[in-house]
Chains A and B, each alone.
Chain A
């Protein structure tokens, strides 16, 4: 009974063309962490906290207080959104917040559906 239960639980998830077993994955993660821990043991034990060894090097610029260094949510991925500004301009135009526009999109999609399904 226990064997049957275990075989059910440990059964590999087959996706048609592939397979996936989360428990094997977890075992692999555990082994990887153990290896990392062992490798860490080979590290330099002469490391000194709160000395020049731990100071960040910001291309020669002074290091600000930590409170000033926190990048706010609105600034994260600024580069990504700036590069794709052309796409965001279109998306922003779509999202007007005006309920009449919401209905207009509904009518447009219904029209497309009608042309494709109704006419064909």
Chain B
């Protein structure tokens, strides 16, 4: 077989391989760990790199030609959408798995030295690979029940990772909280799936999108799906598990990926599964108050307003709570909550601008402002994953050398940790949306498009961005500046593998910041088009 033939074969099976490789790796890791730690580490990084190779192979194919790839398990074609398990990959899925791949590589690379002195590493890497498999599964599947299964795999692996340091009571308690929250959220999602299956006798997302009638039961299912996924995505006031979980997990960067997979699912449900009814008029209101007032209440109108209100609460409470934290990791977790608010604000603004649905092509018609808002929201997803991810790596690096996360006990580390300081500054500017970092480009799109809808929205968003900057300046001052502290005199810079992990993510941040137009055209626009043009996704079955 020629090289092209092999690549075509791998491309054809890549949707399955992206999940199968880390899953197989997870089961083999404890066995290989019996041989030697170094061989196990080598095996884990090979598995992650191999998975990432399939991710980039598939993504480049999908994003370059704007197509959709359907992978049917156990059959040559999608001849029975009721019982078959499907993976459906369009521009949005391709975009999400790129984020997952970047986070996975960096997390594994960082973990090697970070956890070297701890026991239970075989279990740790098994859980990491399981979580990666679950995360990719959530991002790739086109089947509702399959989605629930992958959600559970991710949740269980995440819970065990949060509670990894079992000697610390707080970690175990955080893990317990996470599993309670996840299970309840997932149960409601399962209930919604059961309602949809009961009505349409199908579990395939594309099939459901084509058949959904928006009955009362569909409304109930929509409420359950949105609530369950919003809790998993950490939207205020259902965000409270995030500081506990992010603050205790050894490698919080992977949890960022899992959270974003839930956010992706939320978008998929709203735009694709319920997409054909988004512009439906639900009520015609007419009343007389001096003059006769008449208006229509549309589904996209109420959904958009609800999402924007939640987004504003998410941004404000996230930022305000972050500002008063004295624990470094909890502070970043609250900042991550606020960043989710920005994405949600953009998506809510985009939903509000939907004017009609082209029933023939399944295209959601938005105004130009809405399209820009959608692009801004999607661009911010990848930027947030990188920026907050880098911040968590820096937090890990600080903890690695000082065994401290309290801002009150740290100080003067810039003298001993020059590279980590630089990486922190890159992350600081990126999270706060300071030009020319990546966060600025996406936030600019969000500010401009939300301003067109209501200037108050963009004013709040900008004010909170300034507070984010102020908050991370506080962190910079507390950890890196100030006089030398006697207890930290002997500390040195973190090992090279940890620096490389931070450097990789910093380089991507800078590249995304310097060339936003290239990223927008090649990655974001295909994802936004996939979200708007449902015809392709529905036609994929």
Which residues of A pack against B, CB within 8 Å? 8-9, 11-18, 20, 22-23, 25-26, 66-67, 69-74, 76-77, 80-81, 84, 87-88, 91, 94-95, 97, 99, 101-103, 105-106, 108-110, 112-114, 116-118, 120
Quote the shortest CB–CB distance from A55 to chain B (angstroms).
Answer: 17
Residues of chain A within 8 A (CB-CB) of B483 are 66-67, 69-70
Let me know if B317 and A91 touch, CB within 8 A. yes
- 7 inter-chain pairs at a CB distance below 8 angstroms, sorted by A residue, are A11-B518, A22-B441, A67-B485, A74-B326, A99-B180, A106-B181, A109-B227
* Residue of A23, A97, A101 with most chain B CB atoms under a 10 A cut-off: A97
Q: A15-B448, A73-B474 are in contact. Are A22 and B514 (CB under 8 A)?
A: yes
Q: Is B420 an interface residue (CB 8 A)?
A: no
Let me know if A103 and B408 touch, CB within 8 A. no
Q: Is B452 an interface residue (CB 8 A)?
A: yes
Let me know if B515 and A16 touch, CB within 8 A. no
Q: A110-B227, A113-B226 are in contact. Are A72 and B323 (CB under 8 A)?
A: no
Q: Which residue of A lies closest to B230 (CB)?
A: A109
Interface segment, B109-117, B160-168, B217-225? B217-225
Let me know if A105 and B237 touch, CB within 8 A. yes
Interface segment, B97-105, B128-136, B238-246, B490-498? B238-246
List the 10 closest pairs (A to B, CB-CB), nearest first: A73-B407, A73-B478, A22-B436, A70-B482, A110-B227, A66-B483, A16-B372, A13-B517, A74-B326, A76-B474
Let me know if A106 and B516 touch, CB within 8 A. no
Interface size on B, residues (CB 8 A): 73
B299-334 interface mask toward A, CB cutoff 8 Å, 1 = contact, 0 = none?
100110010001000000100110110100000000
Quote the shortest CB–CB distance from A56 to chain B (angstroms).
Answer: 14
Q: Which residue of A lies closest to B224 (CB)?
A: A110
CA distance A61 to B368 in the complex (A): 60
Q: Which residue of A lies closest to B449 (CB)?
A: A16
Q: A73-B478, A99-B177, A116-B306 are in contact. Are A22 and B513 (CB under 8 A)?
A: yes
Let me know if B475 and A13 touch, CB within 8 A. no
Let me know if A102 and B177 touch, CB within 8 A. yes
Quote the shortest CB–CB distance from B173 to chain A (angstroms).
Answer: 9
* Residue of B240, B244, B477, B513 with most chain A CB atoms under a 10 A cut-off: B240
Let me know if A102 and B324 touch, CB within 8 A. no
Q: A18-B444, A105-B240, A120-B283 are in contact. Are A110 and B188 (CB under 8 A)?
A: yes
Give the contacts of B487-532 with A (CB-CB under 8 A).
513-518, 520
Q: Is B184 an interface residue (CB 8 A)?
A: yes
Residues of chain B within 8 A (CB-CB) of A67 are 483-485
Q: Is B157 an interface residue (CB 8 A)?
A: no
Q: Is B411 an interface residue (CB 8 A)?
A: yes
Let me know if B302 and A116 touch, CB within 8 A. yes
Let me know if A118 and B216 touch, CB within 8 A. yes
Let me know if A77 and B227 touch, CB within 8 A. no
Q: A102-B177, A120-B302 are in contact. Are A84 and B320 (CB under 8 A)?
A: yes
With beta carbons under 8 angstroms apart, the residue of B219, B240, B244, B407 that contacts A118 is B219
Let me know if B475 and A73 touch, CB within 8 A. yes
List 13 additional A-B contacts (Cβ < 8 Å) besides A13-B520, A70-B411, A109-B230. Answer: A16-B448, A16-B449, A26-B436, A67-B485, A72-B407, A73-B326, A73-B410, A76-B477, A99-B177, A102-B181, A105-B238, A106-B184, A116-B306
Residues of chain A within 8 A (CB-CB) of B513 are 22
Q: Which residue of B lies closest to A9 (CB)?
A: B515
Quote the shortest CB–CB distance from A112 to chain B (angstroms).
Answer: 8
Q: A73-B410, A88-B320 are in contact. Are A13 and B516 (CB under 8 A)?
A: yes
Let me know if B219 and A8 touch, CB within 8 A. no
Let me know if A17 and B452 touch, CB within 8 A. yes
Q: Which residue of A lies closest to B302 (CB)?
A: A116
CA distance A17 to B376 in the complex (A): 13
With beta carbons under 8 angstroms apart, the residue of B222, B237, B410, B516 that contacts A94 is B237
Let me know if A20 and B302 touch, CB within 8 A. no
Let me know if B185 and A106 touch, CB within 8 A. yes
CA distance A7 to B407 in the complex (A): 46
Quote the shortest CB–CB distance from B447 to chain A (angstroms).
Answer: 9
Residues of chain B within 8 A (CB-CB) of A13 are 441, 516-517, 520
Let me know if A117 and B303 touch, CB within 8 A. yes
Residues of chain B within 8 A (CB-CB) of A9 are 515, 518
Q: A70-B482, A88-B324 are in contact. Are A117 and B238 (CB under 8 A)?
A: no
CA distance A93 to B185 in the complex (A): 23
Q: A66-B483, A70-B411 are in contact. Are A120 and B181 (CB under 8 A)?
A: no
CA distance A17 to B368 in the complex (A): 10
Quote the shortest CB–CB distance from A39 to chain B (angstroms).
Answer: 23
Q: Is B459 an interface residue (CB 8 A)?
A: no
CA distance A5 to B272 in the complex (A): 36
With beta carbons under 8 angstroms apart, the residue of A72, A77, A88, A95 that contacts B240 is A95
Q: A9-B518, A70-B411, A99-B177 are in contact. Are A114 and B238 (CB under 8 A)?
A: no
Residues of chain A within 8 A (CB-CB) of B435 are 20, 22, 25
Let me know if A106 and B231 touch, CB within 8 A. yes
Quote the shortest CB–CB distance from B304 to chain A (angstroms).
Answer: 12
Let me know if A113 and B223 touch, CB within 8 A. yes
